Structure 1
Amino acid sequence: MSEKMDKNLLPMPCFVDCRYQHHSKEELIARITELMQAGNYYRLDLSSPWFGKVLAAYQQPHRYFHTLEHLLSICERIHETAPSDPEMQGKLLLTALFHDVVWYPQGDDSEDASVEAFDYIIGQYQLPIPEQVQADIRRAILSTKDQDASDELASRFHEYDCHIILHGSPVDLLGYEFQIFREFQYLNMVEYRRGRSKFFSRFSRRFPDCRVNMQFLIEYLERRRTRVGVYAGTFNPFHIGHLSILEKAELMFDKVIVAVGINPKKQVERDDRLVHVLPFHEVVHFDTLMVDFIEQESVFADVTLVRGLRNGYDLDYEMNQLCFMRAMRPETQAVYIPCDKELEHISSSALNSLTMFDVRGRDSIYYPKKYNYYQQSIEELFG
């Protein structure tokens, strides 16, 4: 990459088409299976349930970069450029398959959890992988935490895993950075920028040849104005109607902050349960005026208020509220998203009314389960 990069690239729209964007999930799985079978040095049974469960992990909805597309891109490059040694190719493919099988952006133990899943699957399904090869793959997976290669397998795998960062064009780098941003959207902008700057600096020291790429991303991060939606409400409780609005808003913005207001009329106290329902989103509690909260978030981003509508009465109410907000902050922007017809009847107050009766769990259909897997153990995920 030339050091004389076009600075006009820096504020460009953040979503970039990826190599496999137009492939269906079924096509991705079929191609990964084909490549794994072609390099199946240890004759593993890829029709066994373990293989499907591993691929299912790469489809978890909080993933934007660590996905089937990323896995396939690594497998493709291994087949295109790996040495003629079939055993090394087999080990590289298995390292690719398991290196991100557990990926949660919170904390720094995903690599350890991936190794735990690797060991569990080997034992549970009796995979015929020699112990020394298992040890090599474990080391390679763990080395991805700091890109610290201790042997040939780890060194080769880092080249495949970090291909975009090491060799990507500006367009590739912007697409990569946006996908990583979406995975870490539970962080506020200050925390995210601080963490990414540390990563870029560490990566530059580890791979001096990619310093130009890292500097490009640092400058982009400093200049970029993120498009943020603030989905505000009391969410007491948060239900599938709320989730539907949130998912629609995520198609419109780079990220959506879920802002939980303290409404004296509804006598809502701070409740951290929503953080567990939406573990991969930024959930913020506020007790100020909405316009003041939006102003606070506008330091690093272009912020738009997001509200859901069930009917015309909701629209009338929201229009009145917007008039008040614009009187205090004229630049306030808002979008109103109609809920799906089949969800119009759901409200937090109605669900709260149900708690007065013995409904025997029949109200569970109204509560989101999208991210329940985050609380599951390795045995529950892969057993």
Structure 2
Amino acid sequence: MRIGLYPGTFDPVTLGHLDIMHRAARLVDRLVIGVAINREKKPMFELQERVEMIRMETAQITACEVIVHPFENLLIDCARDVGAQVIIRGLRAVTDFEYEFQMVGMNRLMDDSIETVFLMADARRQAIASRLVKEIARLNGDISKFVTPAVAKALISRVR
């Protein structure tokens, strides 16, 4: 069984994240969506809220089994914990690549049996970043092009 881990904070989950999830699901038998507990990022949504949003938004994925898995340890340890052979990462721009390049190198030094696969963001989704979506929502902008209606409702409710 091919198990892939797609990690992130998903605060909130965007259409860009969902695009990567749907595409990754075609590559593996089980897709584990690792929801990071990253206290330094000070998420707007609590862990359980983010987990539930992702469960709701991925319920229609049928290409593989999808599991939503919160984690607070090292990414490579999470990958081991869930039995992942591959870590799936989305890339939007060159700046993403520089960060991801360093992370892959460190992860390979810790466990070279786990590969990392990069999926380029769909051209229509490359500019979407959770932090920017939150800022647009805070300033009463239209976020409908960046998140699903359910996530938009939760986000607007949170910022107002």
TM-score calculated relative to the size of structure 1: 0.35
Q: Does 1:309 align with 2:91?
A: yes
The structure number with the bigger radius of gyration is 1
Flag the structure with higher helix content. Answer: 1
Structure 1 position 277, deviation (Å): 2.5
Q: Distance in 1 between the 2:67 and 2:36 partners? A: 14
Q: Relative to total residues, which structure has the larger strand share, 1 or 2?
A: 2
Q: Which runs of 5+ in 2 are unaligned?
A: 61-65, 151-160
Q: Indicate the residue corresponding to 2:82 in structure 1.
A: 297
Q: Per the alignment, in what secondary structure is the counterpart of residue 366 of structure 1?
A: coil
Matched, 1:265 2:45: no
Aligned length, in residue pairs: 140
| Shift in CA distance, 232/316, structure 1 to aligned 2, threshold 3 Å | same
1:355 aligns with 2:137: yes
2:15–2:146 CA contact under 8 A, matched in 1: yes
Does residue 68 of structure 2 align to residue 283 of structure 1? yes
Following TM superposition, where does structure 1 have runs of at least 4 consecutive aligned residues deviating by more than 4 angstroms? none
* Counterpart residue identity of residue 311, structure 1: A
**What pairs with 1:1-383 in structure 2 (closer than 5 Å)?**
226-268=1-43, 269-272=46-49, 273-274=52-53, 275-279=55-59, 281-298=66-83, 302-359=84-141, 362-368=142-148
**Matching residue of 1:141:** none
Q: What amino acid does structure 2 have at the position aligned with 1:319?
A: F
Instruction: Give, in angstroms, the shift of residue 279 of structure 1.
Output: 3.3
Conserved? CA contact 1:257–1:282, under 8 Å: yes
Counterpart-to-counterpart distance in 1, 2:31 and 2:135: 29
In structure 2, the partner of 1:13 is none
Contact 2:32 2:82 (C-alpha < 8 Å) held by counterparts: no
Aligned residue for 1:336, secondary structure, equals strand
**Aligned-pair CA distance for 1:255:** 2.3
Contact (CA 8 Å) 1:243, 1:368: kept in 2 or not?
no
How big is the shift at 1:276? 2.5
Residues 368, 356 of structure 1: CA spacing in aligned structure 2 closer, same or farther, 3 A cutoff?
closer
* Aligned-partner Cα distance in 1 for 2:21–2:80: 21
Q: Identity rate of aligned residues, in percent?
A: 26
Residues 85 and 113 in structure 2, CA contact (< 8 A), matched pair in contact too: no
Aligned position for 2:157:
none
Q: For residues 185-220 of structure 1, give each alpha carbon's deviation from its aligned partner in whole angstroms, at most 9, with x where no partner exists.
A: xxxxxxxxxxxxxxxxxxxxxxxxxxxxxxxxxxxx
Q: Contact 1:308–1:336 (CA<8 Å) still a contact in 2? A: yes
Larger RCO: Structure 1 or Structure 2 (Cα < 8 Å, ≥ 6 residues apart)? 2
CA distance 1:369–1:335, change in 2 (3 Å): farther
Give SS of 2:112's match. Answer: coil
One-letter code aligned to 1:354: I
Contact 1:258 1:283 in 2 (8 A): yes
Instruction: After TM superposition, give the deviation of residue 369 of structure 1 in Å.
Output: 5.8
Aligned-residue RMSD, C-alpha: 1.8
- Distance between the aligned counterparts of 2:93 and 2:139, measured in 1? 27
TM-score normalised according to structure 2 size: 0.79
Match of 1:150 in 2: none
Structure 1, unaligned runs of 5 or more: 1-225, 371-383
